Amino acid sequence: MISLAHSGPAIVSVFLASLVEAVEALTIVLAVGTVRGWRPALAGTLAGLAFLALLVLAFGPLIARVPIAYMQLAVGVLLLLFGMRWLRKAILRAGGVIALHDEAEAFAAESAALAAARPLSGWDAIAIVTAFKAVVLEGLEVVFIVLAIGAAAGLLVPASLGALAACGLVVIVGCAVHRPLARIPENTLKFAVGVLLSAFGAFWVGEGLGFHWPGDDLAIIGIAAFFLAAAAAAVGRISRNAAPLARGEIAE
Amino acid sequence: MKWLAAAAREVAGLFIEDAGFALGILAWVALAALVVRELPFGDPWRAAILLAGCLALLVENVLRAARRRAG
């Protein structure tokens, strides 16, 4: 039986991470739809979603066959790499070392690139590929997080529902406002998700190596608190010394 | 085959942005598996050492990245 101490942070992590990725994908799809038309934007999006569904169908059952200790270690290592990469970038953004991610800026840049691309007759391959790539690249991160956290914690169904809820929410709001969701505090969300994914990574690596964390599942909350404290201390330290960003510097 | 290499690069990019940082994490996990596991401590201490190493890697890397940019 999975405790709420484990399932709560797992579902929150998946929901928030999916929210961030869906917002980023929406920005590109909106740019494609606005500049090149909605038919290729939808075609690329649907093709991307179908590709992601195939990946889940192919790899989901394989994961269930891996012995639990190996899976915990493998998932833990991947989550550590993935989560600490997010957290590293979030710290550097919060500390002013790299520019904050701005959806309005990303939308403008993508729209300008699409408008400059040679118009094509018939099927607009540039538009379809751009939408497809955005959905697949952002969706891959969602699929990885769902499979990693869901499979290692035995929470595949709730994790999938959390991801679907986040993506559905972004699609509904995106369709309603027809603008990039620039007011979502994406950088703060990425910081929080980086902390949570790093905590899950450390927890599962420990479990996979046979170290037992004090407090069992509750340890995830404690590990996340340590990551948050270390990240906050690092932000405080580097923001005191960071040189101002160059004007017009683009966020990664 | 070009698209396959590009796809592989994109997937690797999900986990690796700063190669030194990623290698440091992998090296620390390997060290934990080979050395920390053999230390004559109880499990909570082993787990605490694993976590402390991860935190140290993270803080060292971001401070170094900030210094690099400032310098």
- Maximum separation of any 2 CA atoms in chain A, in Å: 63
- Residue B31 touches chain A, beta carbons under 8 Å: no
Over residues B13-22, mean pLDDT: 90
Q: Determine contact: B34 vs chain A, CB below 8 A.
A: no
Please state the ipTM of this predicted complex: 0.91
Q: How far apart are CA A162 and CA A152, in angstroms?
A: 16
- pLDDT above 50 (res A240): yes
Q: What is the pLDDT of residue A248?
A: 42
Name the closest residue on chain B to residue A216, using Cα atoms: B44
Q: Do B51 and A223 touch (CB under 8 A)?
A: yes
Q: Sorting pLDDT into bands at 50, 70 and 90, what band is A241? A: confident
Q: Which helix (H) or strand (E) holds A207?
A: helix A186-208
* Contact assignment for A85 to B70 by CB distance below 8 Å: no
Spell out the alpha helix ranges (H) of A66-185.
68-94, 103-116, 125-153, 156-177
Q: Give CA–CA dist A136/A139, Å, rounded.
A: 5
Task: Provide the pLDDT for residue A37.
Answer: 87
Residue given tokens 């440091």 in the structure block: B24
Q: How far apart are CA B17 and CA A104, in angstroms?
A: 24
- Tell me the torsion sign for CA atoms A72, A75, A79, A80: positive
What are the boundaries of each domain within chain A? Answer: 8-239
Which of A132, A205, A245, A252 should we substitute to test contact with B (largest number of B Cβ atoms within 10 Å)? A205
* DSSP annotation string for B17-62: SSHHHHHHHHHHHHHHHHTGGGSSS-HHHHHHHHHHHHHHHHHHHH
Q: How far away is chain A from the Cα of B70, in angstroms, using its nearest Cα?
A: 6
Least Cα distance to A87 among B33, B11, B35, B61 occurs for: B61
Instruction: Output the pTM of the full model.
Output: 0.85
Does the beta-carbon distance from A209 to B37 stay under 8 Å? yes
Give the distance from residue B22's alpha carbon to the nearest chain A alpha carbon, in angstroms.
6
> Tell me: the pLDDT tens digits for B23-65?
999 999 999 999 888 888 887 899 999 999 999 999 999 999 9
Distances in whole angstroms, Cα of residue B8 to Cα of each of A79, B44, B55: 18, 38, 29
Please write the tens of the pLDDT for every residue from A154-181: 788 888 889 999 999 998 998 888 777 7
B8 touching A (Cβ < 8 Å) = no
Q: How confident is the model at residue A3 (pLDDT cuts 50, 70, 90)?
A: low
Residue of B58, B60, B61 to mutate, testing the A interface (most A Cβ within 10 Å of its Cβ) = B58
**DSSP H helices in A3-37:** 4-36
Pick the residue of A86, A211, A217, A241 with the most B CBs within 10 A to test the interface with B by mutation: A211
Measured between CA atoms, the residue of chain A closest to residue B9 is A137
Q: What is the pLDDT of residue A5?
A: 65
The better pLDDT of the pair A116, A81 is held by: A81
Pick from A104, A36, A89: nearest CA to A197 = A89
pLDDT at A1 over 60: no
- Rounded to a whole number of angstroms, the CA Rg of chain A reads 19
**CB proximity B22 to A under 8 Å:** yes
Could you state, in order of their start, the residue ranges of all structural domains in chain B? 17-70
pLDDT band at B11 (very low <50, low <70, confident <90, very high): confident
Q: Return the residue of A nearest to B35 by Cα.
A: A209
Q: What would the mean pLDDT of B7-23 be, rounded to a whole number?
A: 88
